[in-house]
């Protein structure tokens, strides 16, 4: 048997791409089993430190962003993650480009012996969209067609050995493959089964859940943009990202419960509820008044100045004055201490009521210099502010601040944005590159067909 890779991982299914041919159903492998970790001896000096989720195996059956990102976060924390994809095409986001990044030379033929997928216009393209890489670091790749009896059996065995399973299939569609929660719990009572949907498992079960649509129907677009302008989405798939964080929180809570009781459970999250839970003050303002909030551009409905202000040549400075003391410091730094004594601006509620006059007074003085110069001066007196950076400038800022925002994952692979988590005792793992489609399939299928107490083969 192959040599062990990591201590005691268990495969969770995040959200498996739909099988070629059909949606999952109900099949239950008898017997509750858990993956047996390889023996662990005391770590020698200089060995890698323990990770928070060492010994946890996650079966990631999800696709697109919310589920894969949750699984990647668990991998950051030390879990072993197996990403299950449909053969031939894999996760939808492999094709969500440009940009595409060429796969490193492997000496292998394209997955399933196929020719490289054609690029738009018919030219052959080898590689994967950068979008896919953003949410699939540190995973092993396994391609399974759930419509094939042997592959479905392998998927069930993975669920039986896993600690966590993440999936975003349409509610009810996994039953015919024996991968719904009822079947996975019967086979593996300790399994934490996380299901991610667009609109829940009730009346919204049949509705397809895509971030852009949920931003629209969930109210976020109605409060994003300029007053009187076209409603706008956020510049990133924010609802998917928020849902991934909710899923991760739920999974970790369920694992803690299992530590105490030995019992797994079903964790359900949906895009709409994650968005509504993230509307915070906008939702509570509506519940308090019965009025719908509207778009305010970069302005804040309850704080001023808390917006972008024009400096020299119209360049923008983001200013976030959160209390009256900060406003007094701002006024002094602008050479206009009298603004803080003006009855229209002395208190936050006054500034909100007189925002138009306030902005004119501030921009008249800010016009003398650039956002970068004002940032230095205002930061020196503890006024929160900063220029509107591009993505590259934001990464450069984080680098200057010592946050090491980018982590390499191998020659010829796009670097990963570093995990934002910092744990003093169980640091996050050094990530490795996202898998090619079915990259680890041969070794994983051999492992799944062997004794359940055998450890995973080492990752190479």
Would you please indicate which residues are annotated as catalytic (active-site) residues?
240
Task: Tell whether the torsion through CA atoms of 203, 205, 207 and 209 is positive or negative.
Answer: positive
Q: How far apart are CA 155 and CA 242, in angstroms?
A: 28
Report the alpha-carbon angle 204-208-213, nearest 5. Answer: 100
Q: How far apart are CA 102 and CA 54, in angstroms?
A: 32
Q: How far apart are CA 351 and CA 307, in angstroms?
A: 13
User: Any idea which residue has 């201590």 for tokens?
Assistant: 7
User: Any idea which residue has 């995040």 for tokens?
Assistant: 14
Q: How far apart are CA 106 and CA 176, in angstroms?
A: 36
Alpha-carbon distances, residue 420 vs 234, 315, 416 (angstroms): 21, 30, 12
Give residue 425's region: left, alpha or beta (phi > 0; psi -120 to 50).
alpha
Indicate the angle between helix axes 149-161 and 441-448, nearest 10 degrees.
70
Alpha-carbon distances, residue 155 vs 82, 85, 148, 161, 164 (angstroms): 11, 11, 10, 10, 13
CA 153: distance to chain centroid?
29
Pairing of strands 57-60, 80-85: parallel
Residue 411 host element (H or E): none
Q: How far apart are CA 233 and CA 450, in angstroms?
A: 48
């Amino acid at each position: 048997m192959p040599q062990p890779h990591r201590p005691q991982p268990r495969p969770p299914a995040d959200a498996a791409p739909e099988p070629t041919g059909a949606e999952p159903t109900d099949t239950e492998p008898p017997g509750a089993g858990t993956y047996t970790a390889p023996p662990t001896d005391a770590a020698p000096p200089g060995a890698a430190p323990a990770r928070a989720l060492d010994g946890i195996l996650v079966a990631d059956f999800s696709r697109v962003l919310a589920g894969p990102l949750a699984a990647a976060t668990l991998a950051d924390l030390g879990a072993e993650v197996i990403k299950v994809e449909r053969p031939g095409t894999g996760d939808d986001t492999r094709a969500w480009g440009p940009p595409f990044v060429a796969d490193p030379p492997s000496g292998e033929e394209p997955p399933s012996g196929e020719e490289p997928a054609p690029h738009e216009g018919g030219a052959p393209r080898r590689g994967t969209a950068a979008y896919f890489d953003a949410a699939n670091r540190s995973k092993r790749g396994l391609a399974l067609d759930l419509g094939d009896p042997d592959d479905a059996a392998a998927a069930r065995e993975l669920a039986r050995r896993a600690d966590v399973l993440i999936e975003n299939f349409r509610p009810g569609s996994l039953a015919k493959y024996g991968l719904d929660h009822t079947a996975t719990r019967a086979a593996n009572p300790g399994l934490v089964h996380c299901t991610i949907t667009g609109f829940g498992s009730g009346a919204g079960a049949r509705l397809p859940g895509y971030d852009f649509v949920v931003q629209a129907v969930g109210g976020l677009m109605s409060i994003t943009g300029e007053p009187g302008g076209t409603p706008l989405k956020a510049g990133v798939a924010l609802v998917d990202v928020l849902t991934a964080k909710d899923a991760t929180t739920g999974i970790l809570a369920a694992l803690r419960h299992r530590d105490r009781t030995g019992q797994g459970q079903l964790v359900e999250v949906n895009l709409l509820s994650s968005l509504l839970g993230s509307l915070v003050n906008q939702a509570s303002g509506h519940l308090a008044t019965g009025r719908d909030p509207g778009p305010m551009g970069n302005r804040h409905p309850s704080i001023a100045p808390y917006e972008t202000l024009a400096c020299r040549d119209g360049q923008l400075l983001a200013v976030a004055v959160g209390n009256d003391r900060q406003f007094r410091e701002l006024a002094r730094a602008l050479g206009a201490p009298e603004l803080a004594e003006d009855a229209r601006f002395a208190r936050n509620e006054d500034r909100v009521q007189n925002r138009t006059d306030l902005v004119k007074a501030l921009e008249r003085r800010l016009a003398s210099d650039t956002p970068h110069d004002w940032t230095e001066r205002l930061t020196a007196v503890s006024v929160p502010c900063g220029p509107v950076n591009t993505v590259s400038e934001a990464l450069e800022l984080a680098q200057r601040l010592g946050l090491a925002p980018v982590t390499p994952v191998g020659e010829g692979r796009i670097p990963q944005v570093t995990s934002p988590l910092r744990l003093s005792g169980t640091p996050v793992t050094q990530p490795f590159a996202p898998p090619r489609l079915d990259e680890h399939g041969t070794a994983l299928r051999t492992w799944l067909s062997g004794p359940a107490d055998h450890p995973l083969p080492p990752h190479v």
